Amino acid sequence: MSKQNAPYEHRARKRFGQNFLEDHNIIRRIVKAIAPKPENNLVEIGPGKGAITEQLISQCPDMNVIELDRDLIPILLSKFIVDYPDFKVHQTDALKFDFATLLENKKTPLRIVGNLPYNISTPLIFHLLTYYNKIKDMHFMLQKEVVLRLAAKPGEKNYGRLSIMVQYYCEVENLFLVPPESFDPQPKVDSAIVRLVPHATLPHPAKDIKTLEKLVNVAFQQRRKTLRNSLKQLISADEIEELNIDSSVRPERLTLAEYVAISDKLYEKLNLQ
């Protein structure tokens, strides 16, 4: 829709972390990576003025979008509702939204996409992971540094709590970079597109996910310390060594499987006391 017949011109708002994607080549690359189909249960978080939505909805006419900024709702509705009467807009905070409600009328798993505001990207991903068994895949535009952390492997400098807990649930693929000049206004950092595909079967299921979360959090609070020192309040060096894991290494050296092994031992220990 042209600016002349838009309800009004909307300016990006800092408090919502808005940076509107305007690069049509990047939009095409994103949509190609998503490859939407008419039968998909597609959900877009933070559609903004509908630049990506416009390309997605032509393939998936009954898609849902979640937008916090109420001033964008009339723009989205006027742009799509006439041609796509099954298009649905939820004016709400994605961090508080119950994504399971989108499965009530459509049994197919969710496909979630979004240009996520940098200030809520990590908590929103953790919120979405609580629905991992209801999600087919997720494609997000995030700050490049966040994508590097999501995709990092053991021993890499970006490897940490976010890497481990997201990889516990999902396969992570760093797809491509998006430069600042692709947006209005331009952010001060590079962005990247990431694909998260929940595992059909968790490769290393923990006995208790809360114990694993606590263990990983404590380990990386003091990431320059060795495991024996960073985890000493939870589990002894001898107990770690019993698992054939070197307690003298730093937290970023351990694999997901090793963290799950320590977590399971800690959980058993706590439940014997």
Both tokens assigned to 73: 């709702």
Q: Which fold has domain 209-272?
A: Helicase, Ruva Protein; domain 3 (1.10.8)
Percentage of residues of the chain with pLDDT beyond 90 = 79
Instruction: Give pLDDT tens digits for 99-135.
Output: 999 998 777 999 999 988 888 899 999 999 999 999 9
244 pLDDT exceeds 90? yes
When pLDDT is cut at 50, 70 and 90, the band that residue 8 belongs to is very low
pLDDT at residue 9, rounded to an integer: 53
Instruction: Give pLDDT tens digits for 40-51.
Output: 999 999 998 899
Instruction: Give pLDDT tens digits for 161-182.
Output: 999 999 999 999 999 999 889 8
pLDDT at residue 273, rounded to an integer: 62
Domain ranges of the chain: 3-198, 209-272
Architecture of domain 3-198: 3-Layer(aba) Sandwich (3.40)
Peptide bond into 185 cis (omega under 30): yes
When pLDDT is cut at 50, 70 and 90, the band that residue 54 belongs to is very high
pLDDT at residue 10, rounded to an integer: 47
